[in-house]
Copies of this chain bind each other. A is one copy, B any other.
Amino acid sequence: MILTVTLNTALDITYRVPTLRPHASHRVTEVTERPGGKGLNVARVLAALGHEVTVTGFAGGVTGEVVREGLGGVRGVADALVPVAGTTRRTVAVVDERTGDTTQLNEPGPAVAPTEWDAFQDVYADLLAGASAVALCGSLPPGVPVGAYAGLVRTARAAGVPVLLDTSGEPLRRGVAARPDLIKPNAEELAELTGSHEPLRATQAARRRGARSVVASLGAEGLLAVTPEGRWRAAPHARVRGNPTGAGDSAVAGLLSGLVENLPWPDRLARAVALSAAAVPAPVAGEFDRAAYEELLGRGVAVTAESDAA
């Protein structure tokens, strides 16, 4: 089983409006909602690839109930979310039908009490016993200590479970110092972590800060991987048009999937790039276009070794 952790799960709401105009009143023409948060999106992609996945993190209140109901309908995903007294946050994505652009509003999340955080850590430690890998994903809700991911990385390492960390800011900085097996920052997160805007230099700096391997996601330029086994760049041959929301979560799923199958790095990266690009035509995070994925995996991704000269 692969474990994904989403401490700040969300009910992702999408509103379509004819045109978004600040300070005006809008009739929403279409409302959709689904379970959200990075780790839940990663889990859906892993399940679609045929992996058994367990999700944990926090869920509470009426939105937490809706999230859990929604998860109940996803085959291959087991719900091990821990209850909280507070209410799971909503995120609202407002899609302008004229331009296709999205404006995002993210609630901060429930205040997590120290006893709830303790209860989660116990559940997490128990779940690790059956896990082949774990992914720690996304932002921290209020009340969870900023060093939370560092502690969760250490627990996973002590249990001998490979751990991937996908977060940003201070939680990423502290988590990296606890020596996770893999981080997957985007260019902005990597620059914030290391102070360098030059991707290869920044990726190497992130390894020196503690990450065993770093796979940086560089948007249309694909992935840059710096690992103890070597360095690679991986990118699709052609750009894919659509909505990039969820491409990062799909890449994480591809890396985890390749990891538990012990694929060589170039194959892991090809899978991650193919999944990431196949997420772009899909309307929502956590989904991908299977035909596009299989075509990309066949011959649509270039993986090239990077020289040591940098």
Report the copy number of this chain in the oligomer.
2
Binary per-residue interface labels of chain A (56-99) against chain B in the complex, 1 for a CB within 8 Å, 0 otherwise:
00000011011000000000000000000000000010101001
A105-B22 contact given A62-B62, A62-B65, A65-B62, CB 8 Å threshold: no
Q: How far does the Cβ of A33 sit from chain B's closest Cβ, in whole Å?
A: 9
A15 located at the interface, meaning its Cβ lies under 8 Å from any Cβ of chain B in the complex: yes
Q: Contact partner of A105 among B28, B62, B108, CB < 8 A?
A: B28
Q: Are A104 and B24 in contact (CB under 8 A)?
A: yes
Cβ-based interface call for A170 (8 A): no
Given A62-B65, A66-B62, A92-B92, A107–B31 Cβ distance below 8 Å? yes
Instruction: Report how far A21 CA is from B63 CA in the complex, Å.
Output: 26
| Bound Cα distance from A99 to B65, whole angstroms | 36
Residue in B15, B20, B106 whose CB lies within 8 Å of A27: B106
Q: A22 CA to B106 CA in the complex, in Å? A: 14
CA of A94 to CA of B106, assembled, Å: 12
Instruction: List the B residue with the shortest CB-CB distance to A11.
Output: B62
> In chain B, what residue has the closest Cβ to A69?
B62
Answer whether residue A103 sits at the interface, using C-beta atoms and an 8 A cutoff: yes
Query: A28, B107: Cβ atoms under 8 Å?
Result: yes
Which of B27, B103, B108 lies in contact with A22, CB distance below 8 A? B103
Q: Which B residue's beta carbon lies closest to that of A62?
A: B62
Does A299 have its Cβ within 8 Å of any Cβ on chain B?
no
Q: Is the CB of A103 within 8 A of B24?
A: yes
Encode A94-119 as 1/0 by CB contact (under 8 A) with B: 10100101111111100000000000
- B62 near A28 with CB under 8 A, answer no
Residues of A12-41 at the interface with B, using a CB-CB cut-off of 8 Å, are 15, 17, 20-29, 31
In the assembly, what is the distance between CA of A29 and CA of B15, in Å? 20
* Nearest chain B CB to A227 CB, angstrom units: 30
Q: For the complex, what is the distance from the CA of A31 to the CA of B141, rounded to whole Å?
A: 14
Minimum C-beta distance from A72 to chain B (A): 15
Do B108 and A25 touch across chains, with their CB atoms under 8 A apart?
A: no
CA distance A123 to B47 in the complex (A): 48
Chain B nearest Cβ from A166, distance in angstroms: 17
Minimum Cβ distance to chain B for residue A42 (Å): 19
Known interface pairs A27-B108, A28-B108; 7 further A-B residue pairs with C-beta atoms within 8 A, sorted by A's residue number: A20-B103, A22-B96, A26-B104, A27-B106, A28-B105, A92-B92, A92-B105
15 contacts between A and B (CB under 8 A): A20-B22, A20-B103, A22-B101, A23-B96, A23-B99, A23-B103, A24-B103, A25-B104, A25-B106, A26-B106, A27-B108, A28-B106, A29-B108, A62-B63, A92-B105
Q: State the A residues within 8 Å of B (CB).
A: 15, 17, 20-29, 31, 62-63, 65-66, 92, 94, 96, 99, 101-108
